[in-house]
Amino acid sequence: MQFTNPDDNDNSNIEDRRGGGGRKMAIGGVGTIVVVIIALIMGKNPMQLLNQVNNNAPQSQQQTDQPYQESAEEKQERLLAKRTFQSCDVVWKQQFGQWNKQFQSPVLVMYTEGTQTACGNGSAAMGPFYCPGDQKIYLDLSFFNELATKFNASGDFARAYVVAHEFGHHIQNLLGYSDKLDQARGRVSEKEYNRLSVKLELQADFLAGYWAHYAKDLQKNGIVINEQDVESALNAASQIGDDQLQKQAQGYIVPDAFTHGTSAQRVFWFKKGLTTGDIKQGDTFNDPSL
């Protein structure tokens, strides 16, 4: 995967909190990874469960005036995340203009270990996430290494897919799809709420593919990808399906507890966005098969 004419001097809507006084999160004797796995098994929102634990746990502040000293590998990871984010921003700004809709750019926040968000305490163990409360995408770059080592999903386009998926959640927020879950919270059964969550996540996968479809045509902040790149992204999508994660965590699957969709579903919707480039094809909320 290559980027066409990226502007690496443009840091607009990029917030780098690495090593800059981020909050170190104590879990009170319960490992954060364990908490996240428990949340996935129970069909809960990992952020909500982590916040419940952290509310009763001691926290310490680490303040420093020294700029973060990144390694050569971290620099490449930062540039990839930044370039993907900027490419997404260009594509979606163009699309919203064609739809005569107002577009508001999100912010990409890079941090280490833990940070404060408008949605509560953010933790690197949760993986990348989008907070609609402040319209920011939160990313600990160490997740890219975890993606390769733990989930066997390596390659630059696999990493770009992750960023584009979170950007997709911002698009859902702007288009009002996220409101469907907010309106359903507390009004429907846990099983039905999980089903709506799956629809939201699969649509974000579609939007990630949709970005790649149009980014290939950009003269600036575009991408050049081949079949191997596409396979790496499809592999990443398949490795983080609910069925795959539940099998790893407990040895069996509980479909009613799915919150993100199966591996096959995630691959299908990402590929659908990538190949069609038709926003009407991504209405997961009205798809009778889901």
For 211-260, how does the pLDDT look when each residue is reduced to its tens digit (9 = 90+)? Answer: 999 999 998 999 999 999 998 888 888 776 766 667 667 776 776 767 78
Q: Where are the domains of the chain?
A: 2-286
Whole-angstrom Cα distance, residue 144 to residue 162?
9
Higher-confidence residue of 187 and 275: namely 275
What is residue 48's predicted lDDT score, i.e. its pLDDT? Answer: 52
pTM of the prediction?
Answer: 0.83
pLDDT over threshold 60, residue 59: no
DSSP symbols for 213-276: HHHTT-SSSEEE--HHHHHHHHHHHHHT-HHHHHHHHHSS--GGG-SS--HHHHHHHHHHHHHH
Q: Mean per-residue pLDDT for 64-74?
A: 79
List the beta bridge partners of residue 24: 60
- Lowest average pLDDT, out of 97-106, 186-195, 200-209, goes to 186-195
Buried b (16+ CB within 10 A) or exposed e, 239-266: bbbbbbbbeeeeeebeeebbbbbbbebb
Kindly give the residue spans of alpha helices, DSSP state H, lying in the chain: 32-42, 46-54, 72-98, 142-149, 156-175, 178-184, 190-215, 227-239, 242-250, 263-276
Query: How many whole angstroms from its chain centre is CA 252?
Result: 25
